[in-house]
With several copies, the nearest count.
Chain A
């Protein structure tokens, strides 16, 4: 039998309503967890005073430098049992698949060593085991680790990654997201567990341009599926679709929505695609999923430098590899190699607390590309420079060099 609950008039109001209530869940835990009783007390206090009362500190597990988010209460005097409320970030499997057996084991471990509060998942993809005393961190981790899971990233480290459901359950998937996710990230294990980079670095993997992982805007290196050849068309299914929805619907919702006007609906209800001008945006395939699918010569586009707001404003990633195959072992080694070059160059040239994208902004894309050994490509830009403020006396040499490179 646990400690007597604090009065939580404001939080109580969050128990009503159709959406599952985290408050109800916390109260359930509070029945036999004093830590949660006081957590609810502190949270109610935050609601009453409109302020947060956690501070950071240090907490970790033997052998690792990161992966635990330490939380100490600033009002432990009022709520002693939740004085420590640390979080373990655990890396999920690609696509966040689980069987109930492993989930139950997580529950058991966390019921025993922690508060019993688990987030599935954090915005970076971690299983967040939230609410742990300093002394229990090691025990909890050891059991989770024995279960086959490992800590995720925190601090200036390579971070936990996310990949979409993709190959596992999506017809749009243009590469094996799960394999890429594991091949790349598991190659940086040391940079995940021992934070020593200028700042955080995130990989995200989306199987197609729908970018269900928000990789362009939320990761330092976004790997997104695409194709180089023609969209696969099943004209019979096209006709069925047109019959079912009517020509007007198809024109208004497919034909005229193509960003490059690459689609024509022929008089015989067949679809003509100007594949040279298709920019692989996925829209027509999204709408006519039975009739259309990505081409067969598939691979990925890679963008670098995405992040959110801090310091200079949100940044989207920039295309640095318009297309690369991702099928053979060599392909997967190559993409890992690329990630390594980028992180190494950034580790050497990034300022403290400067994201890769901020560094590129500061030194210029050219210098970054040179640093990681990639040739410029017109696909990296929306349009070439509009101002003459550049010193071009290297023009002839550069053009000669490029000719060289092309011819062999």
Chain B
């Protein structure tokens, strides 16, 4: 006789109240205002009179159970045994008593967790999977983020940028990373190399053809076997054909480069949300520390910090001073590749005499 297999309990999204710090639970929807006593610390005050101090610390996101247990130990000892995580994989500890902030911070710093990421800091870079786990990556994610955050540690633990800086990374052109004030993304520069022997077995040819944004792929017979062919004149090297058809090798140790984008914005504060814009490309994909990409990012941050007004997000700052000045100040070359030629790109052209000299 066979045992019935266990069927899943389709419980869906769990109730959050059971895991919520009591002060937050008690004041749910009651918060009145907040301030930041110091970088990495938020002080929220409720209409009920309750107060809560939040201490934010950076993590590597990709955590071994040892790291998580260490964070739990700290939470149990210093923060009532509750934590939460931010969308940027920072961890937050809540305490209802101001005096408990210092010891909590001390304990976290002792264990090597940087305190910051609040207000006008450069927060943790939102990262993706890369070589560690993804099936289509052009580079790594955790390593890029680790090396960049090492460089930006000071900017994380202090709040001296004009406004929040939100950096994202993506390890292929699919861009699981979000739009960012600065985005560091893979940019393929050559059409896929096709492994014709495998196509027939591995790929659903019609759906691969359909995946191409510029209709550059057509079915073809290659040495007698059904395969695919790419019109290299049309191909924009986007890599969309690769996930559905791995034999279309888009990743290349040499030609999968890194591009840097600036001025993405998700918030509706002041200006409407914006997409980030290409500023630099052709950057070598250079593990383990990607120094060339890091140098450009730090240079952009330096110029932004020097030139932007308070509360200006990176994209808003550039809009005020104009893109020509951005390229002038950062000394990045402006090339024909910066001219958009994709659908609707006409909106990106200057059809006015508004020019700064």
Contacts and interface: CB of A to CB of B under 8 A. Distances in A.
A395 B114 CA distance: 38
Given A62-B7, A214-B179, A377-B334, A301 B81 contact: no
B134 interface: yes
B40 interface: no
A319 interface: yes
A99 B340 contact: no
Interface residues of B, number: 163
Contacts of B28: 167-168
Q: Which secondary structure characterizes the binding site on chain B?
A: loop
B349 A19 contact: no
A365 B339 contact: yes
Contact of A319 (B5, B334, B350): B350
Given A29-B65, A311-B240, A54 B323 contact: no
B119 to A, nearest CB: 11
Nearest to B233: A391
A50 B311 contact: no
A333 to B, nearest CB: 17
B132 interface: yes
Interface string B91-119: 10010000000000000000011100000
Nearest to B318: A383
Given A318-B349, A365-B349, A391 B189 contact: yes
Contacts of A324: none
16 contacts: A10-B287, A20-B114, A25-B62, A47-B288, A50-B254, A97-B21, A98-B19, A103-B72, A111-B65, A145-B8, A149-B14, A277-B321, A279-B355, A319-B350, A382-B349, A388-B259
Nearest to B47: A171
Contacts of A317: 351
Contacts of A351: 210
Nearest to A33: B64
Interface string B324-353: 110100000111111111110111111111
Interface string A1-14: 00000000011011
B238 A218 contact: no
B327 A312 contact: no
A258 B63 CA distance: 42
A171 B32 contact: yes
B295 to A, nearest CB: 15
Given A19-B146, A149-B11, 8 more contacts: A17-B147, A28-B66, A71-B135, A97-B19, A125-B87, A283-B269, A310-B240, A316-B275
Interface in A20-48: 20-23, 25-26, 28-29, 39, 43, 46-47
A330 interface: no
A385 B12 contact: no
Contact of B61 (A101, A119, A281, A393): A119
A408 interface: no
B270 to A, nearest CB: 5
A20 B113 contact: yes
A28 B24 contact: no
A290 interface: yes
B269 A210 contact: yes
A361 B132 contact: no
A20 B320 CA distance: 37
Contact of A52 (B72, B114, B131): B131
Contacts of B285: 50
Interface stretch (A173-181, A264-272, A341-349): A173-181
A258 B7 CA distance: 55
Interface string B49-67: 0001010001111111111
